[in-house]
């Protein structure tokens, strides 16, 4: 008996995304941080140079397709919790913010390895190409809708 592989489509992508996000949110809850806070803080930690609040908000909005007001509120929460601080015109992660991101990453690493670990490299490369194309096309459609 031959089994036909499922076809990739928007539903399959969404189901995979939400399953993986559910795992991440479970870990983040143990650290007292939301998904949106983690994305914002992670982007601040990973930035090669400090970002202004508006630059950081724009970067996160570009990734999450979120409302800028919601990301500004998230930024305020991170500042209030002492995970980010203002440094002149920029916001920078504190040691506590860096440690939180490192701890969450360390905790999710073995789970990610179990999820992704035995997928053949050729399959991952093919999926990467397809997802990059879907992302590019969806961003173009979103830009047209917002024009």
Return the C-alpha torsion angle 73, 61, 116, 1, nearest 10. Answer: 120
CA distance 40 to 53: 11
Q: Evaluate whether the domain defined by 17-116 bears CATH number 1.10.10.10.
A: yes
Predicted pLDDT at 32: 94
CB 50, CB 87: distance < 8 Å:
yes
Instruction: State the helix-helix crossing angle for 35-46 and 53-64, rounded to 10 degrees.
Output: 120
Q: Where are the domains positioned within the chain? A: 17-116, 120-147
Closest CA to 63 of 126, 116, 142: 142
Q: Which two tokens stand for residue 106?
A: 């360390």
CB 99, CB 93: distance < 8 Å:
no
Predicted pLDDT at 3: 63
Q: For the segment 9-41, what is each residue's pLDDT rounded down to a tens digit? A: 888 889 999 999 999 999 999 999 999 999 999
Predicted pLDDT at 84: 97
The ranges of the chain with pLDDT < 70 are: 1-3
Phi, psi of 131 (to 5 degrees): -65, -35
Predicted pLDDT at 12: 87
SS3 label, residue 7 = coil
Q: Which two tokens stand for residue 75?
A: 């930024």
Predicted pLDDT at 143: 87
Predicted pLDDT at 1: 56
SS3 label, residue 91 = strand
CA distance 83 to 69: 19
């Amino acid at each position: 008996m031959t089994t036909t592989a499922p076809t990739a489509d928007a539903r399959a992508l969404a189901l995979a995304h939400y399953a993986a996000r559910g795992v991440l949110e479970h870990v983040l809850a143990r650290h007292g941080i939301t998904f949106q806070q983690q994305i914002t803080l992670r982007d601040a930690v990973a930035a090669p140079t400090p970002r202004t609040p508006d630059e950081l908000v724009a970067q996160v909005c570009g990734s999450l397709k979120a409302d800028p007001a919601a990301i500004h509120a998230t930024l305020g929460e991170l500042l209030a919790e002492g995970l980010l601080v203002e440094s002149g015109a920029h916001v920078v992660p504190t040691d506590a913010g860096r440690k939180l991101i490192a701890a969450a990453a360390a905790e999710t690493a073995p789970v990610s390895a179990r999820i992704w670990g035995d997928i053949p490299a050729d399959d991952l490369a093919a999926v990467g190409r397809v997802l990059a194309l879907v992302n590019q096309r969806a961003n173009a459609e979103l830009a047209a809708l917002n024009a």
